[in-house]
Amino acid sequence: MKETEVIKGRTSKNEILKRYILLVISLFFSALGVAFTKRGELGVSPISSVANVMSSKFSSLTLGSWLIIWNCVLILGQILLLRKNFKLIQLLQIPLSFLFGYFTDFGMWCTSFIPVTRYPVRIAMILIGIVILGFGVALSVIANVIMNSGEAFVKAVSDVINKNFGNVKIAFDVACVIMSVALSLIFFDFSIVGTREGTVISALLTGVVVKFFCGRLKTPIENAITANA
């Protein structure tokens, strides 16, 4: 009886470890997707748009560094919204945000050798980035451990105001785009920088790509994670 309990305990820990490894892998692909869309210079996903504008204005910090700052702001927002209901395990979002930032800068270096002078190439970079980003997000959904700071912030807002998560997510994405445009107008003499058609394309297609990958990868990955359980 005791031996069975120990085996179950080990299996549980192994499964949790596998899920966190999958989460780190998902962060790498998500960050790489952001880097591809950034290199296209046609705008990034709505949630990254504020950091993108800030990195264009204050280039002494990389896009990855600004994403770390932005994610930490969202984590602070969760703490202020949830207060006592904020679970300490959610503080793991902080090191994960740093990882995401580092992965993004690595992705920017990896894509720096790709020439993007022609518009069709830029569009291709956006589409490739969306596929990679969607793949990364799908892996994080399947991992099912810690939400990224953006999604966790949206959940915190939806819980506090008792509104549908999907509707709050749409409102949050729109708010991010409005903020990025406003910052761009302020910092670049009433010019829009860093938020273009790529942002709209990303907003429209990323969810579709995530759904596609989740539908095809969820069962085999779950089977691999729970193997020998």
Q: Are 76 and 205 in contact (CB under 8 A)?
A: no
Residue 39 · residue 127 · CB < 8 Å:
no
Round to whole Å and give the CA distance between 71 and 101.
Answer: 9
Tens digit of each residue's pLDDT, the chain (229 residues)? 444 433 344 447 888 999 999 999 999 999 999 999 999 999 999 999 999 999 999 999 999 999 999 999 999 999 999 999 999 999 999 999 999 999 999 999 999 999 888 999 999 999 999 999 999 999 999 998 988 999 999 999 999 999 998 899 999 999 999 999 999 999 998 888 888 899 999 999 999 999 999 999 999 999 999 876 5
At residue 53, the pLDDT reads: 95
pLDDT of residue 165: 87
Q: Indicate yes or no: pTM above 0.95.
A: no
Q: In 3-state terms, what secondary structure has residue 36?
A: helix
pLDDT, position 229:
57
Query: Distance between CA atoms of 34 and 74, rounded to whole angstroms?
Result: 18
Q: What is the pLDDT at residue 7? A: 38
Q: What is the pLDDT of residue 5?
A: 37
Residues contacting 72, CB < 8 A, separation 6+: 94, 97, 149
pLDDT for 2 equals 41
